[in-house]
């Protein structure tokens, strides 16, 4: 597969971007853990779609954007990114804070996006339960809380098996700082988002893990209810990282949904 | 060298084994263990001790503020300053300090400090601090903005004190369209400003640039000297020369009629070094609160955390000083020789140190120590 990395400059920020695959464009927005690049699920989806996976400003190898104050800023930024990259009406898939970002983008400019895949997105205040305060726990503690069962994850060793290098630790700290910048208060949600979502008529797929200890699965039902054209899929025995925890089933689900009628 | 009396106003009024059940005494230890009756009694005695310190000749009375912790139930340092402004007569009131990054209304802060300065007839020394991480959690204030908010809050307070209103403030973090405080400090151009430090070189440089009094807290002498060098660097940038009056140092100290009694009393300080600082690193230093330079310096400044040091080690490193009045005076002279500071801040009551012990220590300091240290 033809996978490449590019730096695309958007609004004065250098955006490190993974690009690969063939077919209609799919913009993939990563979660707070950072951009993992072409992992197994993404390689599978890239058989049918051209995946564009930018690293958010302030994360990984992208430039700083200390002026950003919230996820709405990041959403605006990724709409600019689509222009800069020449993506016309791409499908958008976002995970966790990337899912929230995708939802805000759709609320800002529904006509600019095609289909929407929201994977365990934050962004809504749970009607029951609470979004885990991820900054209150160490990265080591969080790793254990994030997935349901490491033993069932095919890429576990590849992704988490080795102790992180100093450079990786530095990037992890930077990712955490930028996440705090974007999500600290109101914590991981936008109180106005429930007002916006009913305007988003794009076909939408919501995906969740039933054992998600970071964002309550109750939020899945809230998203499904608020988005007029949404379906929900909940994976059993799965935590907050469905794309990593069940990559093959996840990739099939996503590719089938994106291939549905209505473009 | 001037001496300052300080108590954190602890609330060590619960069984220790209960506190041990939680990841930290801060944030997590349930407030069902807060005893209002005991707290009411304690405030009376803590204020009485400050008043005694004023009477026996301490140059200043230091107060501080923390939240969601039994280690310090002085939760409103400007309230404390106002009370001391009325119940004490001559000592300076060293507020060290107001936690600027978590303050949402710097104009109100400027007014309250002005009021305390007026009530005390111009005795306020106004310390500004960045706070420990716990306060960021308490206030739900984004730690990523800690330094920016510290500086902007400071700038607005100074403007309130030094420039005539009405004026407008449209900053990065603070926005006020009609600033015109009808309460201004007695001291001109404004109360002296003090800044504590434990690890951030940036803070020392920043204080030096402005000529503020800079006070490292409970660090080894060599680290304090290094921080003072950063201060001098900042002072030089601004064309200033630092004097001993620009430098202070904080340690724990107690004296008694016998050495044995003093050493026994000094054990109470171990609580503030250990149990009250226990907790997850992310609670004390949340993400983004410290710069990379600050983090690196902190590792060097505290190769060992205070909580891992035994009482004997804390005594040997002079972070706790406990002895007869003569011995204590000698140690204070040593601090003065080693660091050249003009101000020595004494955390002089802690944990369950009782009133009798605390008051006797204050009396002995007044009678036998202050006459010696005041000549340094």
pLDDT digits (tens, 9 = 90+) for B79-136: 999 999 999 999 999 999 999 999 999 999 999 999 999 999 999 999 999 999 999 9
The predicted model gives B187-194 an average pLDDT of 98
Q: Of the candidates B137, B283, B287, which has its C-beta nearest A177's C-beta?
A: B287
Shortest distance between the Cα of A180 and any Cα of chain B, in A, equals 7
pLDDT of residue A101: 98
Shortest distance between the Cα of B351 and any Cα of chain A, in A, equals 27
**Residue from B92, B85, B82 nearest B61 by CA:** B92
The two counts, helices (H) then strands (E), for chain B are: 16, 11
Shortest distance between the Cα of A174 and any Cα of chain B, in A, equals 8
B127 close contact with A: CB closer than 8 A: no
Residue B280 tokens read as 């997850």
B58 vs B344: CA distance, rounded Å: 11
**Residue from B345, B361, B351 nearest B269 by CA:** B351
The residue assigned the tokens 């990337």 is A98
Q: Of the candidates B137, B142, B283, which has its C-beta nearest A180's C-beta?
A: B142
B367 close contact with A: CB closer than 8 A: no
Shortest distance between the Cα of B104 and any Cα of chain A, in A, equals 14
Check B288 against A136: CB less than 8 A apart.
no
Check A184 against B144: CB less than 8 A apart.
yes
Q: Which domains does chain B have, with CATH numbers?
A: 2-373 (3.20.20.30)
Q: Which domains does chain A have, with CATH numbers?
A: 3-258 (3.40.50.1820)
Alpha-carbon distances of B34 from B13, B14, B71, B273, B283, rounded to whole Å:
7, 8, 11, 21, 21
Q: Which residue of A has its CA nearest to B145?
A: A181
With bands split at pLDDT 50, 70 and 90, how would you rate the model's confidence at B199? confident
Pairing of the two strands A3-10 and A13-21: antiparallel
A212 vs A214: CA distance, rounded Å: 6
Strand locations in chain B, DSSP E? 2-7, 60-63, 92-99, 124-129, 167-170, 175-179, 193-197, 213-216, 248-255, 320-323, 343-349
Identify all chain B residues contacting A176, using CB atoms and an 8 Å cutoff.
287-288
B294 vs B203: CA distance, rounded Å: 9
> For residues B322 and B262, is the Cβ–Cβ distance under 8 A?
yes
- A165-196 exposure pattern, b = at least 16 Cβ within 10 A, e = fewer: eeeeeebbebbbbbbbbbbbeeebbbeebbeb
Helix (H, G, I), strand (E, B) or coil at B116: helix
Those residues whose C-beta lies under 8 Å from the C-beta of residue A168, and which sit 6 or more positions away, are none
A107 vs A91: CA distance, rounded Å: 14
pLDDT of residue B294: 72
The shares of helix, strand and coil residues in chain B, as percent rounded to the nearest 5, are 50, 15, 35
Check B287 against A176: CB less than 8 A apart.
yes
Identify all chain A residues contacting B173, using CB atoms and an 8 Å cutoff.
none
> For residues A51 and A3, is the Cβ–Cβ distance under 8 A?
no
The predicted model gives B309-334 an average pLDDT of 97
> For residues B210 and B238, is the Cβ–Cβ distance under 8 A?
yes
**Residue from B263, B281, B262, B287 nearest B364 by CA:** B262
The residue assigned the tokens 């070094």 is B273
With bands split at pLDDT 50, 70 and 90, how would you rate the model's confidence at B308? confident
Check B142 against A173: CB less than 8 A apart.
no
Identify all chain B residues contacting A179, using CB atoms and an 8 Å cutoff.
287
B59 vs A193: CA distance, rounded Å: 56
Check B286 against A135: CB less than 8 A apart.
yes
A117 vs A110: CA distance, rounded Å: 13
Pairing of the two strands A116-119 and A91-95: parallel
Q: How many CA atoms lie within 13 A of B328 on its CB side?
A: 32
The predicted model gives B287-294 an average pLDDT of 80
Check A176 against B144: CB less than 8 A apart.
no
pLDDT of residue B361: 98
Residue B124 tokens read as 């306020």
B319 vs A89: CA distance, rounded Å: 65
| A59: Cα separation from own chain's centroid | 13
Torsion of CA A172, A176, A181, A184, to 10 degrees: 170
A124 vs A107: CA distance, rounded Å: 13
The residue assigned the tokens 């473009």 is A263
**Residue from B346, B173, B133, B169 nearest A69 by CA:** B173
Torsion of CA B148, B154, B158, B161, to 10 degrees: 130
The share of chain B scoring above pLDDT 70, in percent, equals 98
The predicted model gives B212-240 an average pLDDT of 96
Alpha-carbon distances of B18 from A59, A169, B35, B106, B153, rounded to whole Å:
41, 36, 14, 38, 38
> What residues are paired with B197 via a beta bridge?
B216
> For residues B150 and B114, is the Cβ–Cβ distance under 8 A?
no
With bands split at pLDDT 50, 70 and 90, how would you rate the model's confidence at B198? confident
End-to-end CA distance of chain A: 25
B23 close contact with A: CB closer than 8 A: no
> What residues are paired with A204 via a beta bridge?
A116, A230
- pTM summary value: 0.96
**Residue from B89, B52, B58, B49 nearest B350 by CA:** B49
Pairing of the two strands A3-10 and A25-29: unpaired
C-alpha R_g of chain B = 20
Identify all chain A residues contacting B137, using CB atoms and an 8 Å cutoff.
136
Give the burial class of A263: count Cβ atoms within 10 A of its Cβ; 0-12 exposed, 13-18 middle, 19 or more buried: exposed
**pLDDT tens digits for range B15-36:** 999 999 999 999 999 999 999 9
Q: How many CB pairs under 8 A join A and B?
A: 35
pLDDT of residue A262: 43
Residues of A with CB under 8 A from a CB of B: 135-138, 173, 176-177, 179-181, 184-185, 187
> For residues A70 and A78, is the Cβ–Cβ distance under 8 A?
no
Q: Compute how many other C-beta atoms are within 10 angstroms of the C-beta atom of residue B327.
A: 15
The share of chain B scoring above pLDDT 90, in percent, equals 93
Q: Which residue of A has its CA nearest to B172?
A: A67
Q: Compute how many other C-beta atoms are within 10 angstroms of the C-beta atom of residue B232.
A: 18
pLDDT of residue B302: 65
Check A184 against B140: CB less than 8 A apart.
yes
Identify all chain A residues contacting B142, using CB atoms and an 8 Å cutoff.
180-181, 184-185
Query: A135 or B299, which is more confident?
Result: A135
> What residues are paired with B179 via a beta bridge?
B167
- Written as tens digits, the pLDDT of chain A (263 aa) is 899 999 999 999 999 999 999 999 999 999 999 999 999 999 999 999 999 999 999 999 999 999 999 999 999 999 999 999 999 999 999 999 999 999 999 999 999 999 999 999 999 999 999 999 999 999 889 988 999 999 999 999 999 889 999 999 999 999 999 999 999 999 999 999 999 999 999 999 999 999 999 999 999 999 999 999 999 999 999 999 999 999 999 999 999 999 975 44
The predicted model gives B192-211 an average pLDDT of 93
B360 vs B356: CA distance, rounded Å: 6
> What residues are paired with B343 via a beta bridge?
B2, B248
Check A135 against B287: CB less than 8 A apart.
yes
Identify all chain B residues contacting A180, using CB atoms and an 8 Å cutoff.
142-144, 286-288
Dihedral of alpha carbons A230, A93, A106, A171, sign:
positive
Q: Of the candidates B141, B144, B286, which has its C-beta nearest A181's C-beta?
A: B144
C-alpha R_g of chain A = 17
């Amino acid at each position: 597969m033809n996978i490449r990395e590019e730096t695309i400059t958007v609004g004065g920020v250098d955006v490190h971007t993974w690009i690969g695959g063939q077919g209609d464009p799919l913009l993939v927005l990563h979660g707070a853990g950072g951009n993992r690049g072409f992992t197994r699920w993404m390689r599978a989806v890239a058989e049918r779609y051209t995946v564009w996976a930018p690293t958010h400003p302030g994360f990984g190898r992208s430039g700083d954007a200390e002026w950003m104050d919230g996820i709405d800023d990041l959403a605006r930024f990724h709409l600019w990114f689509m222009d800069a990259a020449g993506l016309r009406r791409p499908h958008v898939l976002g995970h966790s804070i990337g899912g929230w970002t995708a939802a805000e983008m759709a609320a800002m400019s529904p006509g600019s996006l095609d289909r929407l895949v929201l994977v365990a997105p934050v962004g809504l205040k749970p009607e029951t339960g609470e979004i885990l305060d991820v900054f209150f726990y160490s990265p080591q503690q969080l790793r254990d809380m994030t997935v349901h069962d490491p033993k069932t994850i095919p890429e576990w060793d590849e992704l988490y098996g080795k102790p992180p290098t100093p450079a990786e630790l530095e990037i992890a700290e930077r990712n955490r700082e930028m996440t705090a910048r974007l999500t600290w208060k109101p914590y991981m949600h936008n109180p106005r988002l429930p007002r916006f979502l009913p305007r988003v008529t794009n076909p939408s797929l919501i995906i969740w893990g039933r054992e998600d200890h970071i964002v309550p699965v109750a939020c899945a039902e809230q998203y499904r209810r608020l988005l007029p054209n949404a379906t929900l899929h909940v994976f059993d025995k799965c935590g907050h990282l469905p794309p990593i925890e069940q990559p093959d089933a996840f990739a099939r689900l996503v590719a089938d949904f994106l291939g549905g009628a209505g473009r | 060298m001037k001496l300052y009396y300080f108590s954190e106003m602890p609330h060590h009024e619960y069984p220790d084994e209960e506190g041990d059940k939680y990841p930290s005494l801060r944030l997590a230890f349930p407030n069902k263990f807060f005893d209002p009756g005991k707290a009411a009694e304690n405030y009376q005695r803590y204020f009485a001790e400050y008043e005694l310190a004023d009477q026996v000749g301490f140059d200043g009375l230091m107060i501080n503020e923390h939240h969601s912790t039994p280690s310090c139930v002085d939760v409103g340092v400007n309230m404390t300053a106002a009370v001391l402004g009325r119940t004490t007569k001559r000592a300076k009131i060293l507020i060290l300090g107001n936690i600027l990054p978590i303050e949402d209304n710097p104009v109100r802060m400027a007014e309250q400090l002005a009021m305390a300065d007026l009530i005390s007839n111009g005795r306020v020394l106004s310390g500004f601090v960045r706070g420990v991480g716990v306060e960021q959690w308490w206030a739900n204030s984004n730690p990523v903005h800690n330094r920016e908010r510290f500086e902007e809050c400071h700038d607005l307070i100074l403007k309130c004190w030094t420039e005539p209103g009405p004026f407008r403030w449209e900053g990065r973090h603070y926005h006020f369209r009609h600033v015109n405080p009808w309460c201004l400090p007695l001291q001109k151009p404004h109360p002296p400003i003090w800044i504590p430090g434990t690890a951030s070189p940036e803070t020392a440089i920043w204080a030096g640039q402005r000529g503020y009094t800079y006070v490292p807290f409970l660090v080894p002498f060599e680290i304090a000297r290094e921080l003072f060098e950063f201060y001098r660097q900042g002072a030089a940038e601004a064309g200033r020369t630092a004097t001993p009056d620009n430098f202070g140092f904080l340690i724990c100290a107690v004296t008694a009629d016998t050495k044995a009694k003093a050493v026994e009393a000094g054990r109470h300080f171990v609580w503030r070094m250990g149990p009250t600082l226990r907790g997850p690193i992310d609670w004390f230093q949340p993400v983004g609160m410290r710069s990379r330079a600050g983090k690196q310096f902190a590792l060097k400044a505290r190769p060992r955390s205070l909580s891992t040091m035994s009482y004997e080690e804390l005594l040997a490193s002079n972070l706790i000083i406990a002895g007869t009045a003569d011995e204590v005076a000698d140690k204070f002279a040593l601090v003065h020789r080693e660091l050249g500071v003009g101000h020595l801040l004494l955390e002089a009551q802690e944990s369950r140190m009782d009133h009798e012990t605390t008051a006797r220590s204050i009396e002995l300091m007044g009678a036998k120590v202050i006459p010696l240290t005041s000549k340094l």
